[in-house]
Amino acid sequence: MAEMTYLQAISDALREEMRADDSVFCLGEDVGAFGGAFKVTDGFIEEFGPDRVWDTPLAESAIVGTAVGAAIEGMRPVCEMQFADFVACGFDQLVNVAAKMHYRQGIAVPMVVRLPSGGGFSGGPYHSQNPEAWFIQAPGLKVVAPSTAHDAKGLLAAAIRDPNPVVFMEHKHLYRRAKGDVPEGRYEVPIGEAALARTGDDLTVIAYGAMVPLALEATDDIDGASVEVLDLRTVYPLDVDAILASVRKTSKVVVLHEATRSCGVGAEVAAIIGEHAFEDLDGPIVRVTAPDQPIPFSPPLERATLPQVDTVKEACRELLAY
């Protein structure tokens, strides 16, 4: 075991998979000589050379489209979007080509698109989005969103080895803040399995990505209540069994995510609970999310927009008192 940051764990996973499998390569803007916008691929071009670490033009559609073609031919490309927001330029290639190739032609498309997502650093409306909801409605894509360094490495390894296209949501706020023990060598965290970040009996908070450590901090001490925190880890496909098991145990649930409120992961989780565990509930399903608006540049306005520790505490206290 070695202590790594979330960013180091992602870098380690990619490096390990590239060392073990010559079909794995990475491509994106500035991933080579510069080492990536956030330095995930720092040193990669020296180790693997320009044939496996591609510096591409500023053309997300071309990046994703090239990856689709390479994956169809048996390679395992890992694309980096400098910011998750920019994947909109490659949306057609990802959603209308990569996601549908297996259904239409029976062809595997083993590729990963890494999306540095989320706010909390005053990046403004074009560098702070959480676009996972764009992809959970696209059949053929898997979408993962780890919250810990351990899971970041294991889920990226699993995503690279998966025969399907995987969207890998890596939250920028966690890059150097989240640290933990990470096993050396190659291992996988299964896609589609949630994990209990903390067990509890009185209330469940369901979260993923950067909201998991926020949930743990906010519910560490709420008037002695025992609060369970369920880390989804994968937002599509969702681990329905884990969601229902936790809700049926505690009977009260807060769904927490940083993305905007409408038509997102939280809405789907709430619908699953309402459909399958309504009679187990002892209160309304509460959602804590960002409002349906762009993320502001201003630090105070950004803090007012995104979920905070006090916001989560208040929501939990109100539901516990229901």
Q: How far is CA 252 from CA 2, 65, 107, 212, 245, in A?
A: 37, 44, 43, 17, 12
Catalytic residue among 102, 127, 257, 276: 127
The DSSP code for 89 is G
> What token pair was written down for 98?
């990569």
What distance in Å separates the CA atoms of residue 317 and residue 322, rounded to the nearest whole number? 9
Burial status of residue 239 (CB atoms within 10 A of its CB: 0-12, 13-18, 19 or more): buried
CB 276 within 8 A of CB 226: no
- Give, to the nearest 10 degrees, the angle between helix 309-320 and helix 211-218: 60
Distance in angstroms (rounded) separating the CA atoms of residues 65 and 94? 8
107, 70 in Cβ contact below 8 A? no
173 a catalytic residue: no
For 322, the enclosing helix (H) or strand (E) is none
Residue 188 dihedral angles phi and psi, to the nearest 5°: -120, 145
Give the CA count within 13 Å in the CB-facing half-sphere of 220: 8
Q: Omega of the bond prior to 237 within 30 degrees of 0, cis?
A: yes
Active-site residues: which are they?
Answer: 127
